[in-house]
A and B are shown apart, each in its own frame.
Chain A
Amino acid sequence: MTMEHSTDSRGAVVLDGRQGEGGGQIFRSALTLSLCTGKPVRIDHIRANRRKPGLMRQHLACARAAAGISQGTLRGDELGSTTLEFTPGPIVGGEFSFSVGSAGSSGLVLQTVYLPLLFADRPSKLRIEGGTHNAWAPSADFLLHSFLPQLELMGAEVSLRMDRAGFFPGGGGQISVEIQPLSSESSPYEMLSCGERKEVRAWTRSAYLDQHIPAREIAAIRRKFAPRDIPYEEFWHEESSGPGNTVQVAVVHDRVTQVFTGFASRGVPAKKVAHDVAVEAKRFLAAEVPIGEYLADQLLLPLALLAGGRFRTSKLSKHALTNIDVLHRFFPGIVRVQEESEAVDLVEVRLA
């Protein structure tokens, strides 16, 4: 899949929002790459084929965060707008507060801005209000246990603290993130095998719900992994503003941890939510690759900008392929995907 190569009269990189996965991903990756390269960007047809097309609140929050850390300028930053122009300014670092309401995820805002802030000349502190555990977005648990340790391997010091859990629809969550500027050149990243498996563990996060819900989830997961013993924990979030429940299963290897998250939903039995997460974790284990679907997707941009390197993963998702397309618009040919088998891809990313 390739995107049409074009720039507009200002020299801005022009992207077609309908390509690939066609959602917010192109949009966020484009903002990040624009910030890191200093190139202006224009995204047309944003979410054009969605039921409610154009920018929604969560996208607007990302766009404003991007402008906020760089004193960049935005055009078309309105709800429902299907075209957005962004001209970044210099990235200075410092303290920032962002908020994203409705069903917005604090993780997606962080995803948009952490890379450029690594290139700032001073440390940054972010406080992001919004959901911490939203469906279709990296949860605070995923960021903490899966993603940030891999960033660390690329030489990036990013620490995250979940101040308050925030579930849909109550929201009210908050994360605090500290980002240290990159200190030195890092050695290439390589994650080709799982290494030694340490454990599989599970935990639930709940607020204002019946006790039996997490209990049933844990039971379902332990049953699925029987006879292996699964250590588990129950976390209760009194500080949350609304009810919520997620169940996490982590597959912990020597150098990499995969977190799988199930989101409880009205009308869906707790048992089923837990069961589905367990199935997902088991499928990953069976694939015997070190990097899972979501992590693969998240690693492409930092690899290109921080370290370069390669990893082995299960078949790349549409999200990941879209990310590669956007990357190629800024750095042609920087990613190479080698299909090792029907189920396994080897991904190699050059340092930009």
Chain B
Amino acid sequence: MTNTVLFSFYGTTLDRSVDGDGTPLAKRWSKWRPTLSLCQHEELLPDRLEILVQPRFRAAAEGLVQDIGAASPETEVRLHEIPMEDPWDFSEVYAHLRDFAKSYSFQEEEEDYLIHITTGTHVAQICLFLLTESRHLPGRLIQTSPPAASTRRHRRQVASGTYTIIDLDLSRYDELAARFQQEHQEGTSFLKDGIATKSPTYNSLMDQIEVVASQSEAPILLTGATGVGKTRLARRIYERKQQARAGGHDLGDFLEVNCATLRGDGAMSALFGHEKGAFTGAVTRREGILQAADGGLLFLDEIGELGLDEQAMLLRAIEDGVFYPVGADRPRRSSFQLIAGTNRNLHQAVERGRFREDLLARIDLWSFCLPSLCERTEDIEPNLDYELARWEQKHGHRVVFSREARRKFLHFATSPQALWRANFRDLGAAVTRLATLAGFGRIHEEHVADEIQRLEQSWGQSHEMATSRHLDPGLEGLMSRLSDELDRFDQFQLREVLYVCQQESSMAAAGRALFAVSRQHKRSQNDSDRLRKYLARFGLEWDSIPRRSV
């Protein structure tokens, strides 16, 4: 059987049992004393009571201990001096109580802990609450109340009053979790995941998408930097449509494909399927993604990475609802709504012949550019709360910032120093790290300081890497012009290529240096040609690259 152990502050007023000389107060048994009342309930048996007391009230507390011994002889009572100078000083009280909690040897297997929060200063009560919430005190809270005036005539009610036990483990409260879910479903805007965003441009953008999503089956193009939430939004659009259809016929599936993973030979058959025996290795028939999306919604992320052949087939599928699987003679039908995502400037890609103009025209009808996090700093706070709530839902316990830690984090997050290069992906990662390191407790200032350092370091590293290859001023100008249109991925590559070109005396030498590895495998014979084509993509020619005197 587990023992019940109670923690309670000696309440200098409410628990007072003796006068200045230590003489027991005559009327003490007719007044309600909260700490004593804990030991006066017939259905609550404290095996041990740990009373916390300021040293100067120790003698007075001994008087209370005496009375508890009489009223509840089964209870072992221990006094603990908490050397607080000022019981209204938050940091002092917190520090002392935390020390107490740390030094106390809790045996959760054998003992059930109840933390009484009715006595002590409000500051002490709050600190006990916080320490319980953060599991420094691994117990439940107990709150006592005096007997109601109307029941005072009943003998048994006079002394003990009532008590309530509060368990802060929120995961136990299924209704709360359910309500949380509900709020999200009914939130001001479903598409925003219930996040109360403040940015006016973002909010009006969401209003437009809301209308389009519910009214139109036409393709939608979502543009914006990496991590701004294109995938999440696509999924919300799908769920929104599904909601609108409730009761009617079912919407098909949501399929999500990143086109960057579909390059090369497999791309065609992955998207459009193939017939059995269509090519070597095609042992069975493959249905393909488009077929699977029939009646539903297909999200093609990074559509700019799709090959030209696939683009042509996709266009046909969007326009006519038909496509040919690899090796098939007859067309297949599939009717789906397309949402395309890209962080490239597709118009430029069209100019360079990398993207079909007709396909762009088709998917560009509803084009929405999602702003990056730096462009909507006012939304960082609601998104921070959203990430915290998501964490809570996933892990079953709350993680909260201390007030100062939150202030500090938001100050940094909205400052120009916060680059948020990967946007919400960075923010989500930061919250995950903070919550993980805070354990079951709170996120404190020191956690935030460490995290700021981590974020700055990761952004600094990429920045440093990106700029360590110093280019000719003219090329630097080109890089900065391209920086809005190119992925970081491509920027890095281009910078490195240009850096090598600057160093080498001829295009052949530069080609050898750049393709040194594949040369060994004899896969690439014409390095110069490969380099020329690469440079052409950016409108560059070998001769226009200034040489550096070596």
Contact = CB atoms under 8 A, between A and B. Distances in A.
A103 B73 contact: no
B280 interface: no
Interface in A162-184: 166, 168-172
A169 B40 contact: yes
Given A102-B71, A102-B72, A241 B66 contact: yes
A168 B71 CA distance: 8
B142 interface: no
A79 B73 CA distance: 17
Contact of A170 (B29, B43, B152, B153): B29
A242 B1 contact: no
A129 interface: yes
Contacts of A293: none
Interface stretch (A51-59, A87-95, A308-316, A335-343): A51-59
B155 A266 contact: yes
Contact of A243 (B30, B40, B73): B30
B67 A266 contact: no
B70 A102 contact: no
B153 A242 contact: no
A103 B67 CA distance: 14
Contact of B71 (A61, A171, A243, A266): A171
Contacts of A188: none
B43 A171 contact: no
Interface stretch (B129-137, B156-164, B292-300, B364-372): B156-164
B39 interface: yes
Interface string B256-280: 0000000000000000000000000
A241 B43 contact: no
A242 B155 CA distance: 14
B465 interface: no
B67 A168 contact: no
Nearest to B159: A169
Given A78-B1, A103-B42, A166 B74 contact: no
Contacts, number: 94
Contacts of B550: none
Contact of B70 (A61, A166, A265): A166
B26 interface: yes
Interface string B44-69: 11000000000000000000001101
B202 to A, nearest CB: 54
Interface residues of B, number: 28
A100 interface: yes
B45 A60 contact: yes
A135 interface: yes
Contacts of B155: 135, 168-169, 263, 265-266
Contacts of A263: 155
B26 A169 contact: no
Contacts of B67: 170, 172, 241-242
B75 interface: yes
A208 B24 CA distance: 11
Contacts of B66: 241
Interface in A98-119: 99-103
B42 A242 contact: no
Given A130-B73, A241-B70, A52 B158 contact: no
A151 to B, nearest CB: 26
Contacts of B160: 102, 169
A172 B41 contact: no
Contacts of B75: 101
A52 B70 contact: no
B71 A169 contact: yes
A263 B155 CA distance: 10
Nearest to B40: A102
A129 B73 contact: yes
Interface string A180-213: 0000000000000000000000000000100000
Interface in A227-284: 241-243, 263, 265-268
Interface in B150-183: 152-153, 155-156, 158-160
Given A79-B43, A242-B67, A243-B29, A267 B73 contact: no
Which of A102, A135, A166, A243 counts the most chain B CB atoms within 10 A? A102
Contact of A172 (B30, B40, B42, B70): B70
B26 A208 contact: yes
A129 B68 CA distance: 13
B43 A101 contact: no
Contacts of B152: 266-267
A81 B28 CA distance: 33
A347 to B, nearest CB: 32
A173 B432 CA distance: 58
A78 B43 CA distance: 10
Contacts of B73: 99-101, 129-130, 171-172
A170 B71 CA distance: 5
A130 B69 CA distance: 10
A241 B73 CA distance: 12
Nearest to B42: A56
Contact of A101 (B26, B29, B71, B158): B71
B146 to A, nearest CB: 13
A169 to B, nearest CB: 3
Contacts of A58: 42
Contact of B74 (A56, A100, A208): A100
Contact of A171 (B28, B42, B70, B158): B70
B42 A52 contact: yes
A265 B69 CA distance: 23
A172 B36 CA distance: 13
A87 B39 CA distance: 30
Given A61-B74, A102-B160, A267-B152, 12 more contacts: A52-B43, A57-B45, A78-B1, A79-B44, A99-B74, A102-B72, A103-B156, A135-B155, A242-B29, A265-B155, A266-B152, A266-B155
Nearest 7 interchain pairs by C-beta? A172-B70, A241-B70, A169-B159, A99-B73, A101-B72, A56-B42, A242-B29
11 contacts: A77-B1, A80-B43, A100-B74, A135-B155, A169-B71, A208-B26, A208-B29, A242-B71, A243-B30, A265-B155, A266-B155
Interface of A: 52, 54, 56-58, 60-61, 77-80, 99-103, 129-130, 135, 166, 168-172, 208, 241-243, 263, 265-268
